[in-house]
Amino acid sequence: MNSRTKKIGATLLTTAAALIGVPQVPAHSNAVRACQVGYLPDETKFGMLTEQASGPVTVRRVKDGKAVLTVNPGVATEDEDSGDIVRRVDFSALKTPGEYVLDAPGLGSSYPFKIGKDVFAKPFRLAMRAFTGQRASTNVSLAPDFPQFKYEAGHTAPAQYDPSSGKTGTRDVSGGWYDAGDYGRYIVNSGITTGTLLWSYELYGSKLRKVNLNIPESGGKIPDVLDEIKWNLDWMLKMQDEDGGVWHKATTANFPGYIMPKDDKGTVLVIGTGRAPFKNTTATADFAAVAAIAARIYRPFDRAYADRCLDAARSAWEWAEKNPNVLFRNNPQGISTGGYGDSDASDERLWASAELFRTTGEKAYHDAFLAAAPKFHLKGDAAQGWPSVGNMGLYTYVLANRKNADTPTVTRIKSEARQAADEIVKRVGENGYRNPLLPRDYVWGSNAVVGNYGMMLLLAHKIQPNPTYRNTALDSLHYLLGRNTFNTSYVSWVGTKWAMKPHHRPSAADGIDQPWPGLLMGGPNAEGKRPPAKQWEDNQDNYRMNEIAINWNAPLVFVLAGAL
């Protein structure tokens, strides 16, 4: 049966159903918005109307159009971030698993969504497999789910030391994940990315242990999620010099055009600061933190690898202690790839000391953490990000549950975690689309900020269980997955209407209309324009709004893991 025949058949069935009185799901309306994935049975459930309906909203079952709940929309309020007039539809009373739409009379219906305990399982898998799609130096295929998305290995030759590295010759830095829409690899951004993903497993391992990602390593003794993360860890280990310091990045001198990895013939360079000691403290301390986490997480599966990671973490820490504030501020001469410059290494050192203490319990790391910690505070208006990882150090110190932890410090951090979470909850409750962003948070990669606020809520919930924190963290997912001013899922291949044109070289160069799956777009980037939430376009050339990046997908994975 061809598509035209199917369409005629479907039309006849719809007409027949209408004649015999079977309820129908009305046509979609852009004014009726819901999370395009769905909701857990016991969470709060909101949809939004951006125009006035002519009566109560009905929740209808998709399979037969049956009305299962009727709800009066809330009062109309202006969402200042978007300029939209929003009326909330609270259908939290519906807990029965199934697929539904919101039917607003006089307007139409929302995109379909599901209610069930496993509604976030597929998005988690796609978001995690997006990292597989970023692998460097190897043939990549997203089969069996998406066999059309594949590429041949690129950037396989040994890298050359750039003059800024302080060395000459070549070095094997193959592997790792491409950082974003380009083919660079950066230690600083890999740091928070890999740390966040390792924490996802550490906190939710019972849910993730058996997830099958269909990666080349599947079927081994290491869980697939950890095998995927290990692909990047192995690259990070290659970036550590013999003295313990870690180089900033491995990239070509300039960004390539829209080409596939194997067609990028530029020489990969190991890039440093351009002056002795050539490595830098932010990259080295980020590396120490991540390697320390890896040492404890991989130990049950591969003791030798765990020992290697711990040795690397210790060596990096020693280098950072000797070089406490060597900074990478700007690209060296002749290099124009991502800078990831930072003006302060104290937060990276805090995180490294906390993770090493959590892993080893040793006094030297504990003393270093306690000396640095008074400067840092958890705040509800300051999510973690690659330039600011102090939150990671504070949270992990409490999550460690070490008997020799300092009680006043633990008490202070717990109190701040609760206060920060309460502030985020309040802000979400006041936002028209229930998203956690402040007006100033609509920056390059604002969708990652949404995910990181959700991560803060889940960490607070782990430290001091509060169902409101978890419920509100799920609001971050609902915003990213379609309940927003654009009525669009910012994650490719997730929902009904997803962003189509990411700034992502394989998506642009592979000749396929659809983007690679599981990628979180950067999102609205106001840059002083108003309303801030409207400053987004689905345009592959606009990297300031529609690029993808591994550190943006990582908090998405974390919050999805918390929702499984």
Task: Compute the distance between CA of residue 480 and CA of residue 545 in angstroms, rounded to an integer.
Answer: 14
- What is the chain's length? 564
Task: Compute the distance between CA of residue 186 and CA of residue 252 in angstroms, rounded to an integer.
Answer: 12
- Are 563 and 474 contacting, i.e. CB atoms less than 8 angstroms apart? yes
CB-facing half-sphere around the CA of 224: CA atoms within 13 A: 17
Going by their DSSP bridges, the two strands 98-104 and 159-161 should be labelled as: unpaired
- Are 461 and 204 contacting, i.e. CB atoms less than 8 angstroms apart? no
Residue 533 is given by DSSP the state G
* Measured CA distances, 132 to 123, 226, 233, 247 (Å): 15, 12, 13, 24
Among candidate residues 43, 84, 103, 182, the one labeled active-site is 182
Kind and range of the H or E run holding 344: none
What's the distance, CA 359 to chain centroid? 25
- Are 286 and 191 contacting, i.e. CB atoms less than 8 angstroms apart? yes
Q: Which residues of 335-364 are buried (b: 16+ CB within 10 A; e: fewer)?
A: bebbebebeebbbbbbbbbbbbbbbbeeee
Residue 33 is given by DSSP the state E
- Are 549 and 189 contacting, i.e. CB atoms less than 8 angstroms apart? yes
* Measured CA distances, 26 to 38, 279, 495 (Å): 19, 61, 19
Residue 253 is given by DSSP the state S
The 3-state DSSP class for residue 251 equals strand
Is 478 an active-site residue?
no
- Are 120 and 477 contacting, i.e. CB atoms less than 8 angstroms apart? yes
- Which residue do the tokens 């309020």 mark? 77
Task: Compute the distance between CA of residue 112 and CA of residue 367 in angstroms, rounded to an integer.
Answer: 54
- Are 527 and 542 contacting, i.e. CB atoms less than 8 angstroms apart? no
Among candidate residues 155, 248, 478, 503, the one labeled active-site is 503
- Are 547 and 180 contacting, i.e. CB atoms less than 8 angstroms apart? yes
- Enumerate the β-bridge partners of residue 98: 115
Alpha helices in 361-445 (DSSP H): 363-372, 390-399, 407-430
* Measured CA distances, 342 to 189, 236, 249, 385, 386 (Å): 12, 19, 14, 12, 9
Is 547 an active-site residue?
yes
Is 302 an active-site residue?
no
Cα of first residue to Cα of last residue in the chain, in angstroms, is 38
Kind and range of the H or E run holding 150: strand 146-151
Instruction: Tell whether the torsion through CA atoms of 246, 249, 253 and 259 is positive or negative.
Output: positive
What dihedral do alpha carbons 240, 241, 244, 248 form, nearest 10°? -60
Catalytic residue IDs: 182, 503, 538, 547
